[in-house]
């Protein structure tokens, strides 16, 4: 069954004429999905181990979220933040009682970073403004967020960037310590770097940053846009690593694919966002809030934290086994349902080879195969996905050896 009225080729033609070409797109128009499966306009089915670029944490058809959105959209589509609205209060409660502090809502990851950067500066003395971020980090595309992103390829041609950002090598506490001065207000880091290649923190690194922030009166900001909302096997990655940030950003999966972002701040820091100083017109809108609340409920009711931890172990065992056969897999980096396979060869060709066999994956940072499976991935999906990926990796290993 296809719900499309146009073929992929016809939709591509529309894009060529009317949509700015700033994305490299696969030549396929997707029309509907169910669980971890998605169909294109021609009726071809794909198993997706990277659904919605990490946003579709409950797969393509989360029933409770669909229902919550349908009910909310019929009641109230939008209410400005000059009024109170029940869904926003309820979603804030759902997040903060599982995490900490208080919430501010916005619409995207970059927007949550912009707010968090302002809040870090606002909540420290005026002479403090510098923010330390990490090489190979990723924080979004707006000006402050892209400046915080310490990867030159994202800066080309945009200068001058936003002043006040300082870059440190990842997992090097001594280097960070040496970069701190009396003007440093915050350290901003992804607990697990996503786009930069699924880079996990070295033992004690995040705690070292916490201690440094406490010593020097700085804010510790965790960018949990990708790691938040059960992705790492706890509600938030800070819990997985046992290190409490002052400020946390979220987006991507927090409303199971409905556009939504959030900042969480401790009771001490939060009041710096006082009336008039920061705002977002669509932030906290009732549709996104209803979707977010239904997302939390689904994770809880379906025991998805357990599923993440169970599947994560299955992936680890599977790939560790495969690594013995295929030494082109140089390193396996897994944290919950964030999975990175660092190859000895370029990872990009794997994407096309998998797609031809009906499997969707991601390649990042030149050599890394990245999977961000839905938290409700089934054993059947796991087995099929691993089988296809294995076939492709074997083929790539043979080609590399030839
Ligand atoms: C995707 C991502 C962002 C940017 O989110 P957008 O919604 O695209 O603005 C920021 N930080 C991290 C860690 C991300 O993975």
Same domain, 236 and 102: yes
Answer yes or no: is 82 within a domain. yes
Same domain, 378 and 361: yes
CATH number at residue 55: 3.90.1150.10
Q: Enter the tokens of residue 66.
A: 């669909």
309-331: per-residue pLDDT in tens? 999 999 999 999 999 999 999 99
Same domain, 195 and 332: no
Alpha carbon distance 158, 156 (integer Å): 6
Same domain, 194 and 313: no
pLDDT beyond 70 at 350: yes
Quick check: CB of 337 below 6 Å from ligand 1? Answer: no
Quick check: CB of 361 below 6 Å from ligand 1? Answer: no
- CA–centroid distance, 237 to ligand 1, in Å, is 15
Quick check: CB of 194 below 6 Å from ligand 1? Answer: yes
Quick check: CB of 133 below 6 Å from ligand 1? Answer: no
Same domain, 178 and 264: yes
Same domain, 254 and 375: no
Q: Among 271, 301, 331, where does a domain finish?
A: 301
- CA–centroid distance, 247 to ligand 1, in Å, is 16
User: What is the pLDDT at residue 15?
Assistant: 98
Which of 252, 262, 337 is the best mutation target for the ligand 1 pocket, counting ligand atoms within 8 Å of the beta carbon and taking the most?
252
113-152: per-residue pLDDT in tens? 999 999 999 999 999 999 999 999 999 999 999 999 999 9
Same domain, 295 and 308: no
User: What is the pLDDT at residue 59?
Assistant: 98
Please provide the average confidence, as pLDDT, over all residues in the chain. Answer: 97
Where residue 402 falls among pLDDT bands split at 50, 70, 90? confident
pLDDT beyond 90 at 239: yes
pLDDT beyond 90 at 20: yes
pLDDT beyond 80 at 254: yes
pLDDT beyond 70 at 248: yes
Q: Among 247, 273, 301, where does a domain finish?
A: 301
Q: Which atom of ligand 1 is nearest to the CA of 137?
A: 13
Same domain, 188 and 256: yes
Quick check: CB of 110 below 6 Å from ligand 1? Answer: yes
Q: Among 253, 270, 301, where does a domain finish?
A: 301
Task: Report percent pLDDT > 90 for the chain.
Answer: 99
Number of structural domains in the chain: 2
Which of 22, 56, 57, 109 is the best mutation target for the ligand 1 pocket, counting ligand atoms within 8 Å of the beta carbon and taking the most?
109
What 3 state SS string does the chain have?
CCCCCCCHHHHHHHHHHHCCCCCCCCCCCEEEEECCEEEECCCCEEEECCHHHHCCCCCCCCHHHHHHHHHHHHHCCCCCCCCCCHHHHHHHHHHHHHCCCEEEEECCHHHHHHHHHHHHHHCCCCCCCEEEEEECCCCCCCHHHHHHCECHHHCCCCCCCCCCEEEECCCCHHHHHHHCCCCEEEEEECCCECCCCCECCCCCHHHHHHHHHHHHCCEEEEECCCCCCCCCCCCCHHHHHCCCCCEEEECHHHHCCCCCEEEEECCCCHHHCCCCCCCCCCCCCHHHHHHHHHHHHHHHHCCHHHHHHHHHHHHHHHHHHHHHHCCCEEEEEEECCEEEEEECCCCHHHHHHHHHCCEECEEECCCEEEECCCCCCCHHHHHHHHHHHHHHHHHHHHHHHC
- CA–centroid distance, 226 to ligand 1, in Å, is 7
Quick check: CB of 39 below 6 Å from ligand 1? Answer: no
What 3 state SS string does 29-62 have?
CEEEEECCEEEECCCCEEEECCHHHHCCCCCCCC
Answer yes or no: is 230 within a domain. yes
Answer yes or no: is 2 within a domain. no
Same domain, 151 and 271: yes
Answer yes or no: is 3 within a domain. no
Quick check: CB of 196 below 6 Å from ligand 1? Answer: no
The whole domain housing 27 covers: 8-61+304-401
186-227: per-residue pLDDT in tens? 999 999 999 999 999 999 999 999 999 999 999 999 999 999
Is the whole-model pTM more than 0.95? Answer: yes
| Residue 247 bridge partners (DSSP) | 221, 265
Quick check: CB of 226 below 6 Å from ligand 1? Answer: yes
Q: What is the mean pLDDT of residues 289-302?
A: 98
Quick check: CB of 195 below 6 Å from ligand 1? Answer: yes
Q: What is the mean pLDDT of residues 286-313?
A: 98
């Amino acid at each position: 069954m296809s719900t499309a009225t146009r073929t992929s080729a016809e939709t591509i033609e529309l894009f060529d004429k009317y949509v700015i070409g700033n994305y490299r797109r696969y030549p396929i128009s997707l029309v509907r999905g169910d669980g971890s499966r998605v169909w294109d306009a021609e009726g071809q089915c794909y198993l997706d181990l990277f659904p919605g670029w990490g946003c579709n944490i409950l797969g393509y058809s989360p029933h409770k979220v669909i229902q919550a959105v349908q009910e909310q959209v019929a009641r109230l589509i939008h209410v400005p933040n000059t009024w109170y609205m029940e869904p926003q209060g309820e979603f804030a409660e759902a997040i903060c009682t599982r995490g900490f502090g208080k919430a501010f809502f916005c619409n995207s990851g970059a927007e949550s970073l912009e707010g968090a950067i302002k809040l870090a500066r606002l909540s420290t003395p005026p002479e403090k403004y510098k923010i330390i971020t990490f090489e190979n980090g990723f924080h979004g595309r707006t000006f402050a967020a892209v400046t915080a992103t310490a990867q030159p390829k994202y800066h080309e041609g945009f200068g001058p960037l936003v002043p006040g950002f300082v870059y440190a090598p990842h997992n090097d506490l001594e280097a960070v310590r040496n970069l701190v001065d009396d003007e440093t207000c915050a350290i901003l880091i992804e607990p697990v770097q996503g786009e930069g290649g699924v880079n996990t923190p070295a033992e004690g690194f995040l705690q070292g940053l916490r201690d440094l922030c406490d010593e020097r009166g700085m804010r510790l900001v965790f960018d949990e846009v990708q790691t938040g909302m059960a992705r790492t096997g706890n509600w938030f990655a800070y819990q997985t690593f046992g290190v409490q940030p002052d400020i946390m950003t979220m987006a991507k999966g927090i409303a199971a694919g409905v556009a939504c972002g959030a900042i969480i701040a401790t009771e001490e820091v939060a009041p710096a966002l006082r009336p008039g100083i920061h705002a977002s017109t669509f932030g906290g809108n009732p549709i996104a809030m209803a979707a977010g609340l239904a997302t939390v409920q689904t994770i809880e009711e379906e025991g998805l934290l357990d599923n993440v931890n169970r599947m994560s172990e299955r992936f680890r065992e599977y790939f560790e086994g495969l690594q013995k056969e295929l030494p082109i897999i140089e390193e396996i980096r897994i944290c919950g349902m964030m999975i990175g396979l660092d190859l000895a060869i370029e990872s990009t060709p794997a994407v096309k080879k998998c797609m031809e066999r009906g499997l969707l994956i991601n390649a990042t940072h030149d050599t890394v195969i990245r999977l961000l499976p839905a938290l409700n991935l089934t054993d059947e999906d796991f087995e099929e996905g691993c089988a296809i990926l294995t076939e492709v990796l074997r083929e790539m290993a043979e080609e590399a050896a030839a």
